[in-house]
Amino acid sequence: MNAIASASSAAATLSAIAHSQAFEEQQQYLTFMLSGETYAISILRIKEIIQYGQLTEVPRMPSFIRGVINLRGAVVPVIDLSARFGKPPTEVGRRNCIIIIEVAIEEETHSVGVMVDAVNAVLEISDSDIEPAPTFGTHIHAEFIAGMGKINGKFVIILNIQQVLSMEDMAALAAVGTASAADVTQVSSHKTALCGSA
């Protein structure tokens, strides 16, 4: 009886470990729409999601930098992902959102806004459902892609947001971030994953 109890206890322990490992392999990603395609970013990079608001334009910036916003006293540059990928600039509509993410710029962490067409949902994708970035067949550079995640039988592009910006671009963004917040219109923050949903 003791042997049976011991075996049962060991089985339960192994089951718990297996469950824990399976859980650790699940990562959460925010999916969003851009030019009719679905993309995803790891939620570990995301600080919040806000509705698209008034941006202040900054002269002599790369064409994909839409402008800056004043988010609770902090100047946050906003990039247009569509323009960054070499596509036409994103058209402003009622579902547009700005995803506030954290990127490393010169060994410091800075907030950058990413303008997208609409936010979909936060989904879990297991490591086993993520394929390596393809070397061809996508509409964006391979170095921008962290992997291809399979969701309901379809693939979504998981972005390597750190690679989306080159070192020169990051230096420009860092310079923008040091601007005076008083010169930038304050925008309201709506921290919700439903921003841009139908």
- Residue with the larger pLDDT of the pair 179 and 57: 57
Q: Is the pLDDT of residue 161 over 50?
A: yes
Alpha-carbon Rg of the chain, whole angstroms? Answer: 20
Predicted TM-score of the model (pTM):
0.72
CB burial of residue 24 (10 Å; 0-12, 13-18, 19+): exposed
| The CATH fold of domain 27-183 | OB fold (Dihydrolipoamide Acetyltransferase, E2P) (2.40.50)
pLDDT digits (tens, 9 = 90+) for 5-31: 444 444 444 344 444 444 445 689 999
DSSP 8-state symbol, 92: P
Residue pair 79/55 in contact (Cβ under 8 Å)? The answer is no
Which of these ranges, 62-76, 104-118, 171-185, has the smallest mean pLDDT?
Answer: 171-185
Give residue limits of the domains in the chain: 27-183
With CA atoms as reference, report the closest residue to 51 among 3, 101, 93, 103: 93
CA dihedral 119, 156, 171, 76 (to 10 degrees): 10
Residue 170 is classified by DSSP as: H
